[in-house]
Structure 1
């Protein structure tokens, strides 16, 4: 697992914003690093339409097509952003982001398949879930407020 400090977390987030983050660093841990930084420092970019635009443009800049089978995935993104926000809110505001990130990655969210607790594979990886928000079909997200 890649260890992040606060400077690395900021670099990942800003690299997504300005499209300079190498695609090889856009990992599960990198996604959550960016999500935590955005939640703390640029919360306006975490709104559904804003995060869709941000990640879609980053993907395009790194030669990743946003299609029905690859690139931006709306349901995974919104669930992950909400999970990151919920996790971050459980810590005092002065706790360094790398501490929160390390704990988050050691939690159930740190497993790349954590969403399969709430969605069946068929539903989560459907075109509809990639394009828009689809409610979980196995169990409700514990931190989710309906759209």
Structure 2
């Protein structure tokens, strides 16, 4: 059994609650889970066409972290390399979905895919490189496998 079982979403409204709460900075901190990060990204890609995740997600997450009492430091909070890697992965996954796939079905399929696994970034990065200060502050290229 996985150390962290995937928590699926019940419906489209549950996914939108995450995304809208992130943007409004009102989502309770306890709800900002791994699954929520991925759900928010897919929701933003599908329903907020004026939001460019590669450009807008960094400040969105940083400001959300501060709003819920967190910090963005060299060891906690926003992580640029993880964010950009997951945006690439979620975008690529979304392009494989059949047109008309319901939001909740798309999110739950994403969570059940290899990208949904918390260890997915370690396919591309060694732990030392991924969890370095440089990777937290800015994009660093993978050292194990290219991330396309």
Same fold per superposition (TM over 0.5): yes
In the alignment, structure 2 segments of 5+ residues that lack a partner are 1-5
Alignment pair present for 1:35 and 2:41: yes
Q: Give 1:64 deviation, angstroms.
A: 0.9
Confirm or deny: 8 A CA contact 1:10 1:37 kept in the other structure: yes
SS at match of 2:51: helix
1:3 corresponds to:
8
Pick aligned residue for 2:80 from 74, 80, 88: 74
Confirm or deny: 8 A CA contact 1:46 1:81 kept in the other structure: no
Q: TM-score, normalised by structure 2?
A: 0.91
Q: Residue by residue, what CA displacement relative to the aligned partner does 1:61-91 show, whole Å, maximum 9, x if unpaired?
A: 0111000000000000011011111111111
Residues 58-97 of structure 1 mapped to structure 2, 5 A cutoff: 58-97=64-103
CA distance in structure 1 between the partners assigned to 2:76 and 2:51 by the alignment = 22
2:138 corresponds to:
132
Confirm or deny: 8 A CA contact 2:53 2:87 kept in the other structure: no
In the alignment, structure 1 segments of 5+ residues that lack a partner are none
Count of residues in Structure 1 that have an aligned counterpart in Structure 2: 142
What's the RMSD between the two structures over aligned residues? 1.2
Q: List, as ranges, runs of 4+ consecutive aligned residues in structure 1 with deviation greater than 4 Å.
A: none
Alignment pair present for 1:99 and 2:123: no
